[in-house]
A and B are shown apart, each in its own frame.
Chain A
Amino acid sequence: MDGQIPRCDHTTGCITCGDEADAMRVLEVDAESSLARCVDAAGRTGEVEIALVEPVAVGERLLVHAGTAIGRDAESTEAAA
């Protein structure tokens, strides 16, 4: 029965349910709707809510949890500036 849903990956932990967030790099920003297309270390892309960290720039690394950026990597922000 478990096969009916994707199992969370025990090697990487669960980024949606746990307290852990995932670093993602910004590829494209839609400032009007507060959304950005981002990519994670494994190359997976997704649409991320950025209202809590705006303004963001392409190339910045955001800390994304449950589809929402809750913080940013200060060092990557300095590097992107």
Chain B
Amino acid sequence: MRFVEEFRDAELGRVLAGEILAAVDPDRHYKLMEVCGGHTHAIYKYGIDELLPENVELVHGPGCPVCVIPMGRVDDGIAVARNEEVIFTCFGDMMRVPGSEQSLIEAKAEGADIRMVYSPLDALRLAKANPDREVVFFAIGFETTAPSTALTLKRARAEGVENFSCICNHVTIVPPLRALLDSPDLRLDGFIGPGHVSTVVGARPFEFIPADYGKPVVISGFEPLDVLQSVLMILRQLGEGRSEVENQYTRVVPYEGNLRALQVMAEVFELRPHFEWRGLGFISQSALKLSEAYADLDAERRFQTPGVRVADPKACQCGEVLKGVIKPWECKVFGTACTPEHAIGTCMVSPEGACAAYYNYGRFAREREVA
């Protein structure tokens, strides 16, 4: 298929791998973070890590929206879903994320009407088809997904659909990146920037990384050659002593983003003062809630939620994995007590999660690293 096959060309991949080898300083260790779960997935699906020199290490960032959902928010969702009049809707991965007592799929097995949807628009259609029920959409995702929720809420308002509401868990990418950069236990040399978040927000929000921290950022596509080229671009910046935001994914990402999407988000959402991220703790202004103008469509106002903070299971080291401090196989429960079928930590639930990517592509046989 055009626009895809060109970016999977094995011969070009080998050429790029050679250029990467030529660009590295053999006496230096490079630690690059791919922010987005989609990149983590591509890296292991295509074996990109195997093509890189040993001194170029890829660490996995917090860019999987399922993985960063804290257990307390899952509990809030389940509490709403248990209301008899409610049809509770969410994306597929969300259903298996463990709450403090159970997951949404377990609550469904006990009788709650919980349904998987592929888009917020599907949830709105469900509301129109069931006017005697309350349809609640459990919204998750970064700026890639938030415009979709915003447009659906606008559509619900315009069409007068009163039995539709939303629990908003949308998060924003810049605050956790700043938190990671401020983290004393993490030394990163550069970032593979999130391609599709950038389609919405553009490249400008990442300019603080070279400006304040002196690290290069290259916004990258998701095909194997995209990722390899982005790694090369970062290494060249480092080699030349430059640090700037570069856009490898120009065929899709405009530097200024999608202004209409940003406008719709600004109308429907406002920043929460703080929000808890799984494993990263509370981060200021890192998530969205419905603005006052859309408060009547906020399910957290329509229904009672416990709103209780729940500590992560002790055995789970998702926090360290999300910060790139440890590799998934270094977690004590990886591949033993915690598997995609019986996940303890969220990183194992979503295929975008670093642990699931390692597990599903056979990266569980390596020896554990000793700190």
A74/B252 in contact, CB under 8 A: yes
The residues of A that contact B148 with a CB separation of less than 8 Å are 49, 65-68, 70
Chain B residues, CB < 8 A from A81: none
Q: Give chain B's interface residue range (CB within 8 Å of chain A).
A: 35 or more
Residues of B near A10 (CB, < 8 A) are 340, 351, 356, 360
Please classify how large the interface on chain A is, using the bins under 10, 10 to 19, 20 to 34, 35 or more: 35 or more
A47-B121 contact in complex given A19-B196, A63-B252, C-beta closer than 8 Å: yes
Residues on A with beta carbons closer than 8 Å to the beta carbon of B93: 8, 14, 16-17
The stretch that binds A, out of B9-17, B21-29, B35-43, B70-78, is: B35-43
Query: B147, A63: Cβ atoms under 8 Å?
Result: no
Consensus secondary structure, chain A interface: loop
For residue B78, give the distance in angstroms from its CB to the closest CB of chain A: 15
Chain B nearest CB, measured from A78 CB (Å): 10
Question: Which of A6, A19, A73 meets B144, CB within 8 Å?
Answer: A19
> A17 to chain B: which residues have CB within 8 Å?
64-66, 91-94, 140-141, 350, 352
Among A21, A46, A63, the most chain B Cβ lie within 10 Å of the Cβ of: A21
A18 touches B38 (CB 8 A): yes
CB-contact partner of A63 in B66, B152, B199, under 8 A: B199
Given contacts A16-B91, A18-B38, A70-B200, 11 further A-B contacts (CB under 8 A): A2-B105, A8-B351, A13-B42, A14-B93, A17-B66, A18-B350, A52-B151, A66-B91, A68-B151, A70-B196, A71-B254
